[in-house]
Amino acid sequence: MTIEQEPTVDIPTLDVDPFSAEILTQPYDFHEQLREIGPVVHLPRYGVYAMGRYDDVHSSLVNWESFVSSRGAGLSDFKREKPWRAPSLLLESDPPIHTAARTVMSGVVSVRTVRQLRAGFESEADALVDSLIERGTIDAVTDLAEVFPLKVFPDAMGLPAEGRENLLPYGALAFNAFGPHNALLEAALASAAPVQEWILASCQRDALSSDGFGAQIWAAADRGEITIEQAPLLVRSLLSAGVDTTVYGIANSLFALATNPAQWTALHDNPAGAKFAFDEALRFESPVQTFFRTTPKPVNVAGSSIPEDSKVLLFLGAANRDPRKWGPTADQFDIARRGGGHVAFGMGVHQCVGQPIARMEAEVILTALARKVRRIELVSEPRAKLNNTLKGWASIPVALVPR
Ligand code: OVM
């Protein structure tokens, strides 16, 4: 190790593994420790720096020149290690290369294109919720949060029906791969080969229908806005980031609502509040807990100097519960809060490009539930789902009491 890589003396150290099963399932005490100990903390376990305060996480996300993405948004530094797949043109790039890709994607997943999908999503949501109410007791994850996005999103992409079971394992792999090479990543990699092959094949023009997001990306290549070689990589971004994230976001919303009955009642009384409930749920239990950046130069954060070539772990989930930003009730789920301003979608040039469709999916399914379900009650212990980046649930058994 060279001198520049030693931690700066005034940066405190935390001898903790944030990717251990304990912290992945119950991160909030650790988050508090992280925020309280200082603006920047060194984690010797991985030789990285970390931030958990809202203001510092926010400023670092916005400062793409000092905190670059082109060396990877995970623990691995692409300058030193070969990435597990070809780097994403969106997530793992910096301006100006990032800009052309981003511009195309913002056009494809725009508020306008998503508006056209809304009515179709609403009828899917109504039908699903009706059938679940009929059953009475369901699993809010496997019967609901996984089912809805896995129907509407691949349809909107223009994917064939066959092989869609590969989408969740691929997302799980991609998000585990941002973390260390631990047992979680090992397990995800073990069965990954056929999954990766299906995803790769599904990014090609002839695998996609002529009217979906996939076709629109290929059309942008035909117009010369991106190259033909870039088109399948951009399709891959939507398939990587577009499924698990929404499944976790919907499941986490349902967990928060089911365990806070007064909040469910408030939503049932005013289903139009679904979009605010979703933002508050993303703040309260952020599906994407962390992303890394890399410092191409030394950088000063609130008086702490982070050395050049450092990996920096930004705790979105900790920033979203920082009492400095959210006040003394930061740890409470309150749909009246108006949690806008959270960093669950990131911030700055890389802020989630799929946001319009993610928000619409969540709003539509939560609205259908709010209208039709008077109470949602846990019937047995929820089971956490472990992932190096995503926080959420494998199972949330609930009873749905119709209105
Ligand atoms: C990508 C991407 C973007 C955001 C998240 C992500 C797997 C992937 O462009 O491939 O997670």
Q: How many CB atoms lie within 10 A of CB 269?
A: 9
Ligand 1 pocket, mutate which of 195, 235, 240, 246 (most atoms under 8 A from CB)? 240
Burial bucket for residue 299 (CB in 10 Å: 0-12, 13-18, 19+) = buried
Query: Is the distance from the beta carbon of residue 240 to the nearest atom of ligand 1 less than 6 Å?
Result: yes
For the Cβ of 90 lying below 6 angstroms from any atom of ligand 1, the answer is: yes
- CB contact at 8 A, 271 and 403: no
Q: Is 319 in the pocket of ligand 1 (CB under 6 A)?
A: no
Of ligand 1's listed atoms, the one at least distance from the Cα of 352 is: 4
Locate all alpha helices (DSSP H) within 181-243, ordered by sequence: 183-190, 192-202, 213-222, 230-241
The residues pairing with 397 across neighbouring beta strands, listed in sequence order, are 139
Distance from Cα 238 to the centre of ligand 1, integer Å: 7
Residue of 95, 99, 78 lying closest to 292 (CA atoms): 78
Return the best residue to mutate from 237, 345, 349 for the ligand 1 pocket (most ligand atoms within 8 A of CB): 237
Quickly tell me which residue has 């979009």 as its tokens. Answer: 275
Going by alpha carbons, the residue nearest to atom 4 of ligand 1 is 241
Phi, psi of 325 (to 5 degrees): -100, -40
Question: Which residues make Cβ contacts (< 8 Å) with residue 18, sequence separation at least 6?
Answer: 24, 27, 30, 43, 50, 290, 313, 315
At 10 the pLDDT is 87
**What is the per-residue pLDDT for 279?**
98
Token duo for residue 196: 């990766």
Q: What is the pLDDT of residue 340?
A: 78
Q: Is the CB of 237 under 6 A from ligand 1?
A: yes
> How confident is the model at residue 339, as a pLDDT?
67
Do 375 and 261 touch, CB atoms closer than 8 A? yes
- The protein residue with its alpha carbon nearest to ligand 1, atom 5, reads 241
- pLDDT, residue 338, reads 77
pLDDT, tens digit, for every residue of 346-366?
Answer: 999 999 999 999 999 999 999
Ligand 1 midpoint to CA 9 (Å): 35
Determine if residue 111 is left, alpha or beta; phi over 0 gives left, psi from -120 to 50 gives alpha, anything else beta: alpha
> Does the reported pTM lie above 0.95?
yes
Distance 243 CA to ligand 1 centre (A): 11
Q: Which tokens in the block code for residue 297?
A: 């130069």
Distance 18 CA to ligand 1 centre (A): 21
Would you give the DSSP letter of residue 5?
Answer: G
How much is the pLDDT for 8?
Answer: 52
CATH number of 21-402: 1.10.630.10
Cβ-contact 136, 265 below 8 angstroms: no
Where is 153: in which H helix or E strand?
helix 147-157
Q: State whether the beta carbon of 241 lies less than 6 angstroms from ligand 1.
A: yes
Of the candidates 34, 8, 93, the one whose C-alpha atom is nearest the C-alpha of residue 349 is 93
Give the Å distance between the CA of 230 and the centre of ligand 1. Answer: 15
Q: Which atom of ligand 1 is nearest to the CA of 89?
A: 9
The DSSP call for residue 165 is: G
Distance 350 CA to ligand 1 centre (A): 10
How far from 389 is each of 78, 244, 245, 313, 360, CA to CA, in Å? 18, 11, 10, 11, 23
Span from the CA of 268 to the centroid of ligand 1 (angstroms) = 34
Q: Report the relative pairing of strands 310-315 and 290-295 from DSSP bridges.
A: antiparallel
> 245 C-alpha to center of ligand 1: Å?
10
Three-state secondary structure string covering 77-101: CCCCCCCCCCCCCCCCCCCCHHHHH
Pull the structure tokens for residue 98. Answer: 């990032």
Separation of CA 21 and ligand 1 centre (Å): 23
Give the start-to-end residue ranges of the domains of the chain: 21-402
Residues of the chain predicted below pLDDT 50 = 1-6
Of 78, 85, 88, 288, the residue with max ligand 1 atoms within 8 A of its CB, to mutate for a pocket test, comes to: 88
Three-state DSSP class for 193?
helix
**Residue 161: both structure tokens together:** 């029906």
Q: What is the pLDDT of residue 5?
A: 45
